[in-house]
Structure 1
Amino acid sequence: MASVDTSRPSPVTNELPSEEVESDTEDFEDLIRENELESASDWTADDETRPICLFCEITFDDSDAVWDHCVKDHDFDFKKLRRGLGLDFFGKVKLINYVRSQVKAGNQPELNRPELFLEDSQFLKPTLQDDALLFGIQDDDSEEEEDDPDVLYEKEQLAEVARENAERVKVLQKQLQELQFQFDEYKDIVRTVLNRDLDSDSGSDSGCGSPEGPSRASRKRVGNKYSNEDDHYFESYAYNDIHEIMLKDSIRTDSYRDFIYDNKDIFKDKIVLDVGCGTGILSMFAAKAGARKVYAVDNSDIIEKAIANVHENGLDRIIQCYRGKIEEIRLPVQKVDIIVSEWMGYALLYEAMLDSVLVARDKYLAPNGLMVPSEVRLLVAGLRDAEFINDKVNFWNDIYGFKMSAMKPRIYDDVLIENFKPSSIVHQGPFTFRTLQLHDITTADLEFTSPIRLTIPDLSNEFDGTFDGLVIYFDNYFTRSRDEVIPEDARAETFKPGNGSLGFTTGPWGPKYTHWRSGALLFNKQLQVSPGVNELAGEITYEKRKSNPRELIIGLELTAGDKKLAQSYFMR
């Protein structure tokens, strides 16, 4: 646990009132009677184990060594905090159990609010069974320490800080109440307006939906919209349905599992960071592969389920879960050996989760550390699929005898997420227009313009020279080493060089469909290639929407002989 602030505690008197001491004593005796504790008189040296650090799993010969380690490595001074708060025997027991409980839950202990543990008798019950730190607690501090002028001065300073904090807290509480009242009024107004808008567009389809439901980040809660797009994004991952879809994607989940389990020598005794851990499945793979410690981070409510899953599978001593954005939280380590994350969105970069993964890489990954996956490639192919066009476009020509042509323009504005067979592709090989090498790429590289070239097959009965649009998809590569070079002509669906590395594709040539599917860019008007033209050439641009950086604008410019085409597509 990194950098715990022990310098400004809230005011607590050095002497607990006698009624509070009696209450703690009674609670303590009740726990003994209920077999929750051994009697304090039974706490002997024969029962002691080696004391364990409050924040990590290092053990020591005695409690003094633990406290010296906590000051040096975790910025936590137990003795100083105990003196400043004037803790008696029960107070020290509560402090130790409180800190252990918060670290176990992945939370930052709020040591500037001692009332959280001093006023709660549950912290008399050990968080860690046979906790040797509790065995060594003395009821009274030595007279020598109490008479130390430096100690007395420090207490006076802490008391003054505590008084200042108390006054500051009163002011902030009053301000918070006023702001909460204003915010509640604002929410009522906004809710009224947005509920009306939601009712008016509830039948619309962004084109990024799926047979299972809305796209991964487009779910809306009925009667409520979110204060900002990040809230909306993280809220969309709070429910079981999207995680069920992802876990049932065997291409996705099997690939991560197979790479981790087939390369246990890489994971053994390593420290692993799982960014956007979801249900915790990748973290548990890493733990089972022999990782010494796994830090699982997610800013969605799903983290509560991940914690439960970790405990249910007996992996809570290896996996530590954190709720928060990776950009904001602080892990209790400076560096990790491996970062594993399933960050890919539709058309690869929709949702902009890779930005967060790269922040984690720059902040925590050791210089020779490994990114899993290590490389991802974006590919494009030509589309000719009459059945798809009939289903998506011509469908609106006759709806129960009525024409609805007004519905068609939106189709050409959005990236349509769909599965395509190889027969929908009008040439033999796709074109790789962007390679993301995860060890080196920067967030600035995630907005780009790349050239594309697509070979046009000879006109025949199977191809009449007509293009309906383009298809974009991505290939993932997992390598044992950050220095391993993947051949330019590699195909992810067959990439398994025999050294433990592997790949998978989300495109038409995969053995199974994935939940990402492919992204179709339909032309406003079918492109008819003239005889003798053997290439489509142009460029594709990926750009984040300024109003919501998690959404994408994909620009396309193409030339085929004397014909030119320019369109923009949205992923929202």
Structure 2
Amino acid sequence: AAASTGGDGDADEMPELSDCDDDDDVDNDEDLWQWAEEDEEDSRPANVTLLSSVPATLQHCAADHQVNLVEIIKKHHLDDYGYIKMINFIRSTKCDASGLTGLPDAPLPWESEDFLRPVLQDDPLLQTDPEELCEDLSLSVCPSFRAESHDALQQRAQAAEERASTSEQALARAMDDLHKLKLLAQGLVLNAEAGRPGNSSAVAELREDEDEAYFSSYGHYSIHEEINLVHTETFKAKPPPSPPVLQVVLDVGCGTGILAMFAARAGAKQVIAVDQSEIIYQAMDIVRSNELEDKITLIKGRIEDIKLPVEKVDVIISEWMGYFLLFESMLDSVLYARDLYLADGGSVYPDLCNISLVAVGDAQKYRDHIAFWDDVYGFNMACMKKAVVPEGMVEVVKEDTLISEPAVIQTFDCNKVRLSELEFASDFCLKMTNTTECTALVGYFDIFFDNGCGNKVMFSTGPRVTKTHWKQTVFLLEKPVSVQAGEELRGKITVRKNKKDPRSLWVTFDLEDGKHSYSLQ
């Protein structure tokens, strides 16, 4: 029980715990749940027993009333919330001992969320950890604290080791089967019709709860610290179009609001900034701190779900780029806003972007990530390669590992591109600059501010320039390919959205030695 500071009556009055005051058996149980402060002694009922501590109260309940709360906790597997509900149920219903010892397995009478509300203020029982009760009272009914013999523990450990060995063998077989199934499924998906209903608008059709994980990742401050000065300086340096063009600006996915503030200071009459993540609340404070609230309107929500306070905008700005340019599919949202809100003669910035490939020969990385599985502390785990290789890795590529000239595989004009064109297939040719082994293909992107700009501005995420938040995307080959300087490595790349998760990508390379499929998720 816990300290009673009064019920519906005066502060010093002990609450009655039974509705049947004339029932002797019930009267005998009333002191089961009572706790009183010392200064309440004079006003307590005659049949109430004062106890000095929580352990003493529980021992009294077990000894005098045959109610063992720890046994109840164990029997019904009560967590912290279940324990709190049980205590509040006892206090609020004034139940007797028989009502607790004969409980069914389910449902329990205190399942309602209403029993999370304390009956007594500063209730000591609610301030006690139920696991600590088991430990402190050393009750045998709490098996989680029951000591086991050394021999029993040794037998359990040996049995667990045997099960683990059997499971590892089964896992290896399952991984091999799973890889075969994955390749089959990818082939079915990638060869399906690209234009079937719902394909091109998959992101727009996501419900808000389905898209929560994506936006939540941008609610953390660290991601906005990582989005570095390189691209922000590029947006800042872009010469603003002539004043008539900058009348109304829309910032899609505004984050901290930095681009919206650049636009406002560049002369925009009105800026509307939209973001679904929680960071927009900090953006509101930032805008007010810089005294730009008269020019910038911030709206929380997905651009697909909200209605802007204007019919048309003159410029759409957005830092929409994901890893390998298209990962996360935020460009889909920008194109949605373009088709719905951009006025004739308006423009999206950045307006041009491309994706490039380059070959890499990095023997050390291949040993660390692929060859490593051939001998793991003396065990052959080569089957794990089939699980490791299909995952594209995002990391900074060392310039001295590049072994080919880069090749652009796709270019997009954000003012003209259609949503369906964001899934594509493209032939490529990489001219080798070194005689070595190609261990991976690496993708990166460049963006440009071109339309209506007097001085063209761009930035790159390639491995030969200052590193950016996007780094590069590495597609490791399961087996290295021998190449000669001057020769060409030809292939075909196919980029598709994952049908089950349209913000992630499937990337497939058709090379001379076969097909290599990867996921970005």
Question: TM-score, normalized by length of structure 1?
Answer: 0.52
Instruction: Give 2:519's aligned residue.
Output: 570
1:283 aligns to what SS in structure 2? Answer: helix
**Equivalent residue for 1:426, pick from 403, 406, 409:** 403
* Residue type at the aligned position of 2:415: H
Choose 1 or 2 for highest CA Rg: 2
- Aligned counterparts of 2:298 and 2:244: Cα–Cα separation in 1: 18
**Equivalent residue for 2:320, pick from 343, 359, 364:** 343
1:146-157 alignment, distance < 5 Å: none
Query: Does structure 1 conserve the Cα–Cα contact (< 8 Å) formed by 2:396 and 2:467?
Result: yes
Show CA shifts across 1:383-416 (max 9, x none): 1112322343345566677665454333210111
**Equivalent residue for 2:422, pick from 422, 428, 446:** 446
The answer to whether residue 469 in structure 2 is matched with residue 519 in structure 1 is no
Q: What's the offset of the Cα at 1:266?
A: 5.3
Q: Residues 426, 500 of structure 1: CA spacing in aligned structure 2 closer, same or farther, 3 A cutoff?
A: same
2:518 aligns to what SS in structure 1? Answer: strand
Query: Does structure 2 conserve the Cα–Cα contact (< 8 Å) formed by 1:384 and 1:466?
Result: yes
**Equivalent residue for 1:477, pick from 442, 448, 461:** 448
Percent identical = 39
Q: Residues 426, 532 of structure 1: CA spacing in aligned structure 2 closer, same or farther, 3 A cutoff?
A: closer
Instruction: Give 2:250's aligned residue.
Output: 273
**Equivalent residue for 1:285, pick from 259, 262, 266:** 262
Show CA shifts across 1:420-444 (max 9, x none): 13322112x3111100111100110
2:236 aligns to what SS in structure 1? Answer: helix
- Aligned counterparts of 2:280 and 2:342: Cα–Cα separation in 1: 22
Query: Does structure 2 conserve the Cα–Cα contact (< 8 Å) formed by 1:414 and 1:521?
Result: yes
Q: What's the offset of the Cα at 1:500?
A: 2.5
Q: What's the offset of the Cα at 1:544?
A: 0.6
1:360-379 alignment, distance < 5 Å: 360-379=337-356
- Aligned counterparts of 1:239 and 1:471: Cα–Cα separation in 2: 28
Instruction: Give 1:258's aligned residue.
Output: 237
- Aligned counterparts of 1:569 and 1:275: Cα–Cα separation in 2: 29
- Aligned counterparts of 1:229 and 1:523: Cα–Cα separation in 2: 33
Query: Does structure 2 conserve the Cα–Cα contact (< 8 Å) formed by 1:274 and 1:283?
Result: yes
Q: What's the offset of the Cα at 1:311?
A: 1.0
* Residue type at the aligned position of 2:516: Q
2:500 aligns to what SS in structure 1? Answer: coil
1:296-335 alignment, distance < 5 Å: 296-335=273-312
Instruction: Give 1:546's aligned residue.
Output: 499
* Residue type at the aligned position of 1:548: D
The answer to whether residue 464 in structure 2 is matched with residue 509 in structure 1 is yes
1:413 aligns to what SS in structure 2? Answer: coil
The answer to whether residue 305 in structure 2 is matched with residue 295 in structure 1 is no
Q: Residues 384, 532 of structure 1: CA spacing in aligned structure 2 closer, same or farther, 3 A cutoff?
A: closer
- Aligned counterparts of 1:480 and 1:386: Cα–Cα separation in 2: 43
- Aligned counterparts of 2:359 and 2:368: Cα–Cα separation in 1: 18
Instruction: Give 1:239's aligned residue.
Output: 220
* Unpaired runs of at least 5, structure 2: 1-112, 114-206
* Residue type at the aligned position of 1:555: T
Q: What's the offset of the Cα at 1:268?
A: 7.5
Instruction: Give 2:40's aligned residue.
Output: none
1:380-419 alignment, distance < 5 Å: 380-396=357-373, 405=382, 407-419=384-396
Q: What's the offset of the Cα at 1:304?
A: 1.2
1:12-411 alignment, distance < 5 Å: 228-246=209-227, 249-259=228-238, 262-263=239-240, 265=242, 269-396=246-373, 405=382, 407-411=384-388
Alignment root-mean-square deviation, CA: 2.3
Query: Does structure 2 conserve the Cα–Cα contact (< 8 Å) formed by 1:268 and 1:292?
Result: no
Q: Residues 470, 321 of structure 1: CA spacing in aligned structure 2 closer, same or farther, 3 A cutoff?
A: same
Instruction: Give 2:437's aligned residue.
Output: 466
Q: Residues 387, 253 of structure 1: CA spacing in aligned structure 2 closer, same or farther, 3 A cutoff?
A: farther
* Residue type at the aligned position of 1:557: D
- Aligned counterparts of 1:470 and 1:266: Cα–Cα separation in 2: 44
Q: Residues 538, 313 of structure 1: CA spacing in aligned structure 2 closer, same or farther, 3 A cutoff?
A: same
Instruction: Give 2:127's aligned residue.
Output: none
- Aligned counterparts of 2:331 and 2:359: Cα–Cα separation in 1: 27
* Residue type at the aligned position of 2:236: R
Query: Does structure 2 conserve the Cα–Cα contact (< 8 Å) formed by 1:263 and 1:500?
Result: no
Instruction: Give 1:30's aligned residue.
Output: none
- Aligned counterparts of 1:367 and 1:265: Cα–Cα separation in 2: 15
Query: Does structure 1 conserve the Cα–Cα contact (< 8 Å) formed by 2:245 and 2:315?
Result: no
Query: Does structure 2 conserve the Cα–Cα contact (< 8 Å) formed by 1:480 and 1:500?
Result: no
- Aligned counterparts of 1:418 and 1:412: Cα–Cα separation in 2: 15
* Residue type at the aligned position of 2:445: F
1:473 aligns to what SS in structure 2? Answer: strand
Query: Does structure 1 conserve the Cα–Cα contact (< 8 Å) formed by 2:435 and 2:485?
Result: no
* Residue type at the aligned position of 1:295: I
- Aligned counterparts of 1:358 and 1:281: Cα–Cα separation in 2: 21
- Aligned counterparts of 2:243 and 2:223: Cα–Cα separation in 1: 30
Query: Does structure 2 conserve the Cα–Cα contact (< 8 Å) formed by 1:268 and 1:290?
Result: no
* Unpaired runs of at least 5, structure 1: 1-183, 185-225, 458-462, 485-498
Query: Does structure 2 conserve the Cα–Cα contact (< 8 Å) formed by 1:263 and 1:480?
Result: no
1:439 aligns to what SS in structure 2? Answer: coil
1:444 aligns to what SS in structure 2? Answer: helix
- Aligned counterparts of 2:379 and 2:222: Cα–Cα separation in 1: 36
Q: What's the offset of the Cα at 1:464?
A: 2.9
- Aligned counterparts of 2:366 and 2:441: Cα–Cα separation in 1: 13
Q: What's the offset of the Cα at 1:294?
A: 0.3
Q: Residues 317, 374 of structure 1: CA spacing in aligned structure 2 closer, same or farther, 3 A cutoff?
A: same
* Residue type at the aligned position of 1:423: D
Show CA shifts across 1:431-490 (max 9, x none): 111001111001100111111111234xxxxx3342112111101101242xx8xxxxxx
Q: What's the offset of the Cα at 1:565?
A: 2.3
**Equivalent residue for 1:500, pick from 455, 463, 471:** 455
1:347 aligns to what SS in structure 2? Answer: coil
Show CA shifts across 1:311-338 (max 9, x none): 1111100000111111121112111111
Show CA shifts across 1:262-309 (max 9, x none): 336458752100000011111011111111100000111111111111
Instruction: Give 1:111's aligned residue.
Output: none
- Aligned counterparts of 2:283 and 2:412: Cα–Cα separation in 1: 29
Question: TM-score, normalized by length of structure 2?
Answer: 0.57
- What is the number of residues matched between the two proteins? 316
Moved more, 289-298 or 388-397: 388-397
